[in-house]
Structure formats: C-alpha cells, structure tokens
Amino acid sequence: MNEPEKNAPSVNEFSHRVRSLWMAELNTNKFDVIIIGGGITGAGIALDAASRGLNTLLIEQNDFASGTSSRSTKLIHGGLRYLKQLEFGLVKEVGSERAVIHRLAPHLVVPEKMLLPLYEKKGLGYWLTSIGLKIYDFLAGVTGDDQRKMLSRRQTLRYEPLLDTQGVSGGALYAEYRTDDARLTIETIKTAVKNGARCINYLEAIDFIYADGKVSAVKMRDHVENRELTVKAVTVVNAAGPWVDKLRSKNNSLHGKRLHLTKGVHVVLPAEKFPVRQAIYFDVPDGRMIFAIPRGRVTYVGTTDTNYEGDINQVFTTREDALYVLHGITSTFPTILLTLNDIESSWAGLRPLIHEEGKSASELSRKDEIFISESGLISIAGGKLTGFRKMAERVVNLIIKRSFEDSTLKKCFTDQIRLTPDSFKNFREAHAYQRVVRTRLPQDIPDETIRYLIESYGKQVDDILNRFQSHKESDAAQRLLLAELDFSIQHEMTISLEDFFVRRTGLLYFDIEKISRHLQAAASLMKDSLGWSVQECDRQVKRMRSLMAEVTAFKSNA
C-alpha cells in the first residue's frame, strides 16, 4: 500500500515526494508568475495562469485553504443581501458564476434550495421580497424550476415546521448551491497542477528582491526543510487574503486603500438538537440575517460579522460569538432550546474586505479590488469564494497586458476546465453513482458516509475504494478512513494530520468524535508513509488534540 520512498513519484502524484523534487528545482527556475497565497483566490489565479501557458508557481505559508477559504459559510451563492446594498454588478457576476462552478464540479457544488421565512413586523415583507428575488434571478440568469417561488404561511411552515407558527406570515424558496470551500480550493489547486503549475504548501514569502526598482524575486522560507531560498519571477501576485496588507507593507506599498478585516463565526450542532429540514436564511434580533444549513449528521449555523483587530494567525470563536448565534436560533425557532454545551464544533474566519470610511462591518462591500505597487507587485483583496474564477481572469488578463502582451497566450477558458478528473456530467449522474459505491462497501458503512465521499471526491472515490480493498483492519469505518488518508497523501499533498482532518475531510468541524476514534491509526499510517520519527508522530497527535480543544474552548472560557 505505502510505496517505498525510493520509487519515483508517478505522473498523477501530488505528494510530499513531488514536493521534494519541485523544491530542488526552485533555485534554478525563473517563473512567469509567482502567486503568494493558497486560498481560493490564489488557487483560481494559478489555474487560470497555468492553463493559458504561463510558467506558474503558487506558494502557501501553511496548508492550502488554511486561511479564510476553509472558514466560510460554504455556499456558492449570489449574495441576496448585496441586492439590498444595491450592488447589482456584484450580484450579477457571482449569481451567474454559481451555475458555472456547479457545472465544473457537480458533485462538490450541490444545488440547495434556500428557505426565506417572512414576518409581518420585520424584514422586507412579502411583495418587496418577491420583487427582490425576481431581480436576483434575472441578474443571475436563473431559469425554470430554479426560479424563486413565493410561499403562503402554510406552505412555509410545511417546509420548516420548527418556525414560530405565530410570527411567520409567508416565505420564499430560492436556488443556491452548497459546497466545501477547502475541497473546492484543493481541487482547483490539483487542476492547476495538472495544467502545469507548481503549487507548494508550507512555503512562506518572507521578502521581495528588486532589480531596477521592480520586484524580481521572492525570498521564501520552507517550513518543511527549515531553510530559506530565493526564487525569480517576471510577475508576483499577492493573493494572501487577510495577510495582503502585511505583504504590501513588506513591499513598502501600503498606501491608499487598506484591508478591513471582519470576523465571521459558525457553530455546529448535532442535527437532533436543531433538526431543520433544509437550508434556511433568517433574521436575528439585531436585524442581520444568518444561515442554518443541514449537513449530514449536523446543522451548522452562522455567521457573525464583527470588526477584527486581533492576531490574524489566531482567530477563534469566543463565548460572545457563540451566544449571539444561539440567541439568533432560539429567537426564530422558539421550541429549540440550546446551551453552549450543545455545540459540537465551530470555526472562525476573517473576511479580507476593503476599508470604506464610516461603514460598519456588515455594510462593507464584498467586491474585489486589485492594487499595483510602483515596484510591480499585484495585490488582490476582497471578493467571494463564489467569484474566484472571474477574479482570477481579471488578474491574469492584467499580468498578460503588463508583461506578456507580445506572446501568443490563450484567452481565459477556465469556464471549460472541469475541477476533478473524470468528472460527472451533472448532479444527477453524481447521485446515481451512490448506488454503485453502495455495492462496493459493507453494509455497516452508512449511506451518509457514501454521500460525503461522493460530494467530496466525485469519481476519485474509485481510487479510495481500491485502497479500501488492500487495507486489512477489521473495523470497516477505520479501513475506509485510512484508504481516504492514503489517497490524500498521494494525490492531495497532505503532509500533516491537521491537513487531513481539517482541510481535506472537514472532520474537525463536522464529525469531531470520529477523529478521536481514528487519530492513532491515522498517525501510524502517516508515520510509515512520510517517514516520521516517534517524536514527530507524538507532536502531530498533540497538535490535533489541541485543535480539537480549540474549536469549543469558549465553553470553558466563562
């Protein structure tokens, strides 16, 4: 199962062994473009640049998607509330992108009807909502069954019986998509690599090198081999999310517009404690709106939106954040009684927005902006997960205009590049594949796990199932998890337990108990596959345990 280290990596491999080969080449290569930041923004730029023929390197200081891109609401959505702020351009772009991203990864970007309950005495009311959603559908080009449907009071309560029967006056149902942000990022990175990009995690940009006043190279620190190196490039892009201004500051170009970071928190509850039947977008007492989204055995709820001035590297859910969300739930769903102890897990992320004088956290625009410094550093900030492909297109168009106009590079065609190998044609095909997988796994593996595998990996589940056959553990659930881990070590550049349990699988958020059951077995497999010492293995297990404590630390910080 675990190939000996001396074998050369196969062509399809994206693993620690490939990483070592790439690291050895970096000093001698000059890249057309170096992208700093392995969140969805950097991943999208790497795919666009590489597919058009640019010699591309992406570096990420931590793991891919370890910043904001694993801490969002995990919706590919048009942003209904931006309509209220009259941001028609933004709604049109991200609204239209939903269908494109769904087509490129139909198993991973899954249609989800969103219920919007309406009340007599709060919110926009029936008619304004009806017109607003009509405009929303029009801007995003939504057609057929996906167009918004207005509901009577009775219909609304049938969709969601937990709502307050006294207060609700009607409702609306409209189309959105749910995803897994970290998996969308890793699949985009993998596709960029297939298109020729080098994407390397745990490699931090620490400074810029200049020639004739222009950025000509990036000084980097490799956190795996613990050494520094310098890599040359024609163009450097700063796609560092909440860290964008830190790099602009290093580049002496932090003038004019700046980032304004706002924190958003989600809490995860067992489905039996908050058994909503479907995704719902509802008002909370301060007039904001939050989402409740069922996902397998849990329902997750969020988000908050508060100004953030703390440490960017240590962002946690506080007791106050968690209580805000719980209060929002109980004020809309009067039969649901929750305490902090009901929360299984949580996550907190930072929105890298552009500061606008006098505006509150929720009023700030979600539009992306590009800054070009005098020394040529291109920085991009703001934006949404949903709009990543269009953001990337704008950045790469700019790179080509500035530095490669005479070359014969292709026009952007990422709307035609599927995000997983051997992709499903549509969601129906992904759904039908569940029956095939069911026949290949023992009955004690629940259907829910099969759905999770397909929504996470698409047809790559075939590879995981082949590995499942060659593992020998008696516990089928453990065998399956180790097969998934094996796959992710070889094909998803997983080099720590945290990479696997947080970004590749989302288990830290959605099934934290499962980590406790399989942590030692996973550590042991990684020790053999990556050649860890006993000390390194212990360190990794300890780190995982402390992350598990962190996500509910607010319970004890009274």
By CB under 6 A, name the binding residues for ligand FAD. Answer: 36-42, 59-62, 66-69, 71-75, 77, 204-205, 239-243, 247, 264, 303, 349-352, 383-386
**Of residues 305 and 486, the one with the C-beta less far from ligand FAD:** 305
**Of residues 243 and 487, the one with the C-beta less far from ligand FAD:** 243
Q: Are 543 and 495 in contact (CB under 8 A)?
A: no
408's tokens? 């014969």
Residues in the chain: 558
Element (H, E) at 49: helix 40-51
Minimum CB separation of residue 241 from ligand FAD in Å reads: 2
**Of residues 350 and 430, the one with the C-beta less far from ligand FAD:** 350
Minimum CB separation of residue 503 from ligand FAD in Å reads: 10
192's tokens? 């960029």
Alpha-helical runs (H) found in 120-230: 126-140, 153-159, 181-194
First to last CA, the chain: 47
**Of residues 38 and 328, the one with the C-beta less far from ligand FAD:** 38
Distance between CA 262 and CA 402 in Å, rounded?
A: 33
Task: Give the C-alpha distances (Å, rounded to integers) separating 75 from 44, 98, 115, 543.
Answer: 17, 9, 14, 29
**Of residues 64 and 126, the one with the C-beta less far from ligand FAD:** 64
Minimum CB separation of residue 211 from ligand FAD in Å reads: 21
Q: Quick one: which of 200, 458, 488, 490 has its CA closest to 501?
A: 488
Minimum CB separation of residue 76 from ligand FAD in Å reads: 6
Minimum CB separation of residue 44 from ligand FAD in Å reads: 8
Minimum CB separation of residue 66 from ligand FAD in Å reads: 5
Distance between CA 102 and CA 179 in Å, rounded?
A: 9
Minimum CB separation of residue 444 from ligand FAD in Å reads: 34
Minimum CB separation of residue 325 from ligand FAD in Å reads: 12
**Of residues 303 and 540, the one with the C-beta less far from ligand FAD:** 303
Q: Quick one: which of 187, 201, 346 has its CA closest to 265?
A: 346
Phi and psi at residue 259, in whole multiples of 5°? -75, 155
Distance between CA 148 and CA 138 in Å, rounded?
A: 10
Q: Are 206 and 219 in contact (CB under 8 A)?
A: yes
**Of residues 71 and 514, the one with the C-beta less far from ligand FAD:** 71
**Of residues 170 and 383, the one with the C-beta less far from ligand FAD:** 383
**Of residues 502 and 537, the one with the C-beta less far from ligand FAD:** 502
What three-state secondary structure class fits 478?
Answer: helix
258's tokens? 């700046």
Minimum CB separation of residue 97 from ligand FAD in Å reads: 9
In the numeric block, the tokens 């992208």 are attached to 35
In the numeric block, the tokens 């080099």 are attached to 495
Longest Cα–Cα distance in the chain: 70
Q: Which residues lie below 8 Å from residue 200, measured CB to CB, with a gap of 6+?
A: 19, 22, 23, 57, 58, 59, 60
**Of residues 251 and 420, the one with the C-beta less far from ligand FAD:** 251
Minimum CB separation of residue 133 from ligand FAD in Å reads: 18
